Amino acid sequence: MPPPNRPTQHPHRVMLHNEIHARPPEALTAPLAIAHIVMLADAAGREASRAHVAALLRDHHLALPDAQTTHLRMDLGVFRIRWELHTEFVSWTFMVPTPVEAFGERDPTSAIDAVPREWLAALPGQCLCSLNLWVLPTHQFGSGSLVKHVLHEDTLVASTVADGHGELYTDFAIHADGFSRMVLLAGGMTPRRLGRLVQRLLEIETYRMAALLGLPAARDAANVLAFAERELADAIRTANRDAEPALLDRLTRLAGQVESQYAATHSRFSASSAYFELVDRRIQDIAESRLAGMQTIREFMDRRLTPARSTCEWATRRQDALSQRVSRMSNLLRTRVEIEQQQSSQALLTTMNQRQDLQLKLQSTVEGLSVAAITYYIVGLVSYLAKGAQKLGWPLSPETTAAVAIPVVAFGVWWSLRRLHRRMFRAH
């Protein structure tokens, strides 16, 4: 219950407020070996990762995470672990102190060596990224030994970072152990600043790989879009009036295929676009500058990632353009079909009106004949009546009576039919 003089609080206020403190960087002190693993996982895989980290903590008699925990960091004695749950992936970061002596003269020790092997092999999901990062206090070794035993010289990328307070070396290559490698010379950076820099470097590698997930989808989409574009062009080229219903059905099916493919890849392309923006932002955050004769990380990323980013963006634009073309063609064809249907309906109505006029004329003719027939039968009855009435004193002969009755009866029958028609027309 809120205290007096305090307004009612939004139920999510605390959660939203604490979001600004989510996944904070931790203070780090060189020398340090860091192993960073990113596992791509669906909803079930992410829940399995929660159970997996709980099993590790249980083995070390530590408190277990609850169902709402999305990140944690623990000191397990032999190593420190940082676990983060994201929308599409789970990141695992392991840290151990590392000796500086003889670094670069032989293959350096990885933090992953301190992690239980069986537990590590059972990480839920699929490995998207694995990185070994060594944080060293000063440059106590020659660049030659660094290249020879740690990084590949032919793909070496290096720059000063943190406004010149550190140096970063990497080759963006997957080594024999399955890990890519970075070496950070921390210089005189404070632990908090070093922690922020390390987190940004790990995020650059993570988001770079996550962004590239859209590239295979873009390439697959290119094949589907090329086929759809050829089919659309063929449909337009072979279109004729006799095949318009079949063409409309073909365009409808083509539109369904395009929209289905768009729905299957749109979320992936949108996510890749967001990840590319995060990569750009994190590279800007490390505040790098050029080392003499070396290519910077930004230059490397711009040169190598731009084609992949352009491919994803081009696939998105191509999908939208093709969808609009198919929709526009379908609408034009439907309009033409509707116009032709209206014209056919108009011609049918005209024919029906002509037939109705003919029926009315035939009806008038039949009515004329009906008047004659009815008059004939009525006059016949009058003649029979006159024969009987003559014996009772009727002065006229039956023939004369019938002759006199003919015009009267004919007029009466005609007038009765006209009156009946008027009543019927008024009713309708």
Per-residue pLDDT at 6: 76
Above 60 in pLDDT, residue 140?
A: no
Range 214-346: architecture per CATH = Up-down Bundle (1.20)
Q: Which of 145-149, 188-192, 353-357 has the lowest mean pLDDT?
A: 145-149
Q: What percent of the chain has pLDDT over 70?
A: 86
- Global pTM? 0.74
pLDDT tens figures, 34-84: 999 999 999 999 999 999 999 999 988 888 888 888 889 999 989 999 999
Mean pLDDT of 362-371: 68
Per-residue pLDDT at 419: 78
Mean pLDDT of 88-98: 94
Mean pLDDT of 388-408: 76
Higher-confidence residue of 401 and 285: namely 285
Residue 428: pLDDT band (50, 70, 90) is low
Residue 26: pLDDT band (50, 70, 90) is confident
Q: What average pLDDT does the structure give for the chain? A: 83
Domain boundaries, the chain: 22-198, 214-346
Residue 105: pLDDT band (50, 70, 90) is confident
Per-residue pLDDT at 20: 67
pLDDT tens figures, 269-280: 899 999 999 999
Pair 95, 198: CB distance under 8 Å: no
Closest Cα to residue 121, out of 178, 65, 71?
Answer: 178
DSSP character for 67?
A: T
Pair 54, 89: CB distance under 8 Å: no
